[in-house]
Chain A
């Protein structure tokens, strides 16, 4: 390996470089993204800092290996274990799940909840392993605030489906989908004088002809933030809209995707995987609250606090996919939902709500959650049957253009 070879060269003796290499590997196994170059950097950094006390070594390695705040707890734990005794390393690796995100400790389940979940699993044990939706009782119109943790498997995508999905997304135009930037591109119709282009063009004639060139503001697609509901009542659609989200992430720049049921999960990185099946597998591994209850208010609160300011900048459009069936216990929770919706709407350029429940033409928003959320939505789109990507695209597309 290159890294090993470079270390040989930089090593001033001793086994420290080797240990740093092992440490980096451990961190990599624990989910940090480290290339060979960062190992070389780390060795150089330790050489530069000199071997002081343990704390100095800690911060020296920290500034090279940690590039995101979220990685800090993993590094911290790894450092404590690794630089104490080598025997513990194996144990430590097994302790880390690559998906664990220790910086955001999961909400503590209420007492007895885990027992409830266990009990549920035991009873449904056999059914769970079969995982055939047809056999399950369709309880998708009911809602529950109970947190039930489940895993999920998705049927793989066929080549035809994939091709179809790509072409559908290609044609999709979301409302307000072009925003002007302050950058320019050359254009004959533009009305801004492009001095640099004029100079370069004039050089081709040796300065004899200085003809005007123009430019116009470049437009881009705004960042898109998707908040999708994966609770029990939405379960039959999750495969379709996850494929939709994957195709969207593939096609557009700057798409951030979050799933929520009883907790919020950021699946942006998982969806960046080019292969849809691998991407969905990653998502399935990462999310623990499939088909559980819905706590829209609480998860929106978490989103607004933890992520709002990080992903909603630069005129982001928010796409909210949920049936709005919030099971709020009391008025307070409804008030929280209203407050969080308002904050969300005010922090983004446009809030689009795609509601797949409205499958009857005469449907009125009777559910309390839907009525609470509606006033804060800029664009309310309904889809009668959400069985294909085409339906989603048709519902979301901007028909006016």
Chain B
């Protein structure tokens, strides 16, 4: 059974929250509009900020099947859209020959019919699965070459695919399309124009805290706060690759598994590989800079603690 699409921005926000996806209002607005206006949603952002997750949450909450097209260099029409089943076609030709059927037009119609069509993700997405239009996730579009973007134009604007031998296949009900990219190259304006664009940024401290608490509920409360403060401070440094939310979650899990209740220089140094993935960055943070950040967040936590202690205790 499919759930109805949310009918307001607040409802969208609630739906995301219900799935433990902590979204800010801007994302909820864009998502709501994309659902309401039946336009593809184009999400751009650094790796590990939860772009792919949105599609999963959406499929899960709306009870629709998720069709995922992972992009890679050299992805072409026969592995993304459709392919003919050549072996079966050849057998069909021989069968017809054997039965003495030599009408050329009939032969062509028979051989290039839907029976011999192998549907790949994009074509599958245009068809209803179990009576509902699926969620189509086109992941990491920037990994393909420009030529592939051109295939997508027709699918994303008209929700149809034109097969030269067969004709045009159009979706009865347009699928919900989420396109993600890491911006390792610029996507052509023609494709972006057909979508609603949203830049998914790193979350602010309070939202990140929410996310870590929801996703790693077993971690110590004080430790979680320290982790989030540390990661937030790291993102202000000139790193080659800033840690994403995925890295924060991994780090929280790693520290929890190591039975830590507070950050200390040794623990950070041992687990920094979970957070940072470039040797230059690790070297930079393992030095004095990392210690400074730790000192800074500890002193901030102390002063906040003192403040909170003076008034009513929060949470």
Please give the residue numbers on chain A whose beta carbons come within 8 Å of chain B beta carbons, in ascending order.
33, 35, 37-38, 44-45, 48-50, 52, 55-56, 58-60, 62-64, 66-69, 72, 181-183, 195-196, 198-200, 202-203, 206-208, 210, 253-254, 304-305, 309-311, 313-314
Contact = CB atoms under 8 A, between A and B. Distances in A.
B84 A59 contact: no
Contacts, number: 114
Interface string B86-115: 100110010011000011100110011000
B104 A206 contact: yes
A195 B90 CA distance: 10
B106 to A, nearest CB: 9
B29 A59 contact: yes
B29 A183 contact: no
B189 A45 contact: no
Contacts of B97: 207-208
B270 interface: no
Interface of B: 8-9, 25-26, 29-30, 32-34, 36-37, 42, 44, 73-74, 76, 78, 84, 86, 89-90, 93, 96-97, 102-104, 107-108, 111-112, 142, 145-147, 165, 183-186, 189, 192-193, 196-199, 238, 240
B186 A69 contact: no
Q: Is chain A's interface secondary structure helix, strand, loop, or mixed overall?
A: helix
Contact of B37 (A35, A48, A309, A314): A48
Contacts of B184: 309-310, 313
A198 B86 contact: yes
What 6 pairs between A and B have smallest CB-CB spacing? Answer: A182-B74, A195-B86, A59-B29, A207-B93, A206-B104, A63-B196
Contact of B33 (A45, A66, A309): A45
Nearest to B240: A305
Contacts of A50: 8
Contacts of B90: 199, 210
Contacts of A63: 29-30, 33-34, 196-198
B29 A310 contact: no
Contacts of B42: 67
Contact of B29 (A33, A49, A253): A49
A62 B26 contact: yes
Contacts of A314: 73, 145, 185
6 contacts: A60-B33, A181-B73, A207-B96, A313-B185, A314-B73, A314-B145
A200 B76 CA distance: 19
Nearest to A48: B36
Given A59-B30, A63-B30, A313 B142 contact: yes
Contacts of B147: 183
Contacts of B185: 310-311, 313-314
B193 A44 contact: no
